[in-house]
Structures are given as C-alpha cells and as structure tokens.
Amino acid sequence: MFSKVEVNGDGACDLYEFLKDSQADEEGNRDIAWNFTKFLVDRTGNAVARFGPTTTPEEIGEALGQYL
C-alpha cells in the first residue's frame, strides 16, 4: 500500500490510468503534472471530478455534497 507507483507513462499504475482516463485536468491534459492532484470517486466507483494540487479540502467538500 505504501510502495511508490508510477502515475504517468508506460508503467503507470492501473488505478491512475483509470482515473486519468475518466478525468482530464482543466486544460484537457490526461497526465498528472504535479504532486497532490486529487480525484473524487462516487459510490459506484466512477471518477467524477479532478482537483489540482492547490485545491483545498474545503473546496473539495463543496463538490462532495452532490455525491453523498
């Protein structure tokens, strides 16, 4: 659970491949450009939002309400 994984490129972890395929960034880029990119996944396992590194937990909380 705590081992290093690749998030971009040919060796990218399957989980990150799924998340990136589901949600591109604000500019339409699929790859993760910086640490602390966050994804919101709904109850059925669909990635429904992607947040940049500077997004605060409070900002994510505002989006979270519609998925509870």
> What does the pLDDT look like over 11-55, one tens digit per residue?
999 999 999 999 999 899 999 988 899 999 999 999 999 999 999
User: Quick one: which of 6, 27, 8 has its CA closest to 50?
Assistant: 27
User: Quick one: which of 34, 64, 67 has its CA closest to 52?
Assistant: 34
Question: Is 44 domain-assigned?
Answer: yes
Question: Is 27 domain-assigned?
Answer: yes
The domain containing residue 55 runs over which residues?
A: 14-67
Strands (E), the chain: 38-41, 47-51
pTM: 0.84
Question: Is 6 domain-assigned?
Answer: no
Question: Is 32 domain-assigned?
Answer: yes
Phi, psi at 61, each rounded to 5°: -60, -35
Question: Is 4 domain-assigned?
Answer: no
- How many independent structural domains does the chain possess? 1
Question: Is 25 domain-assigned?
Answer: yes
Question: Is 7 domain-assigned?
Answer: no
Question: Is 3 domain-assigned?
Answer: no
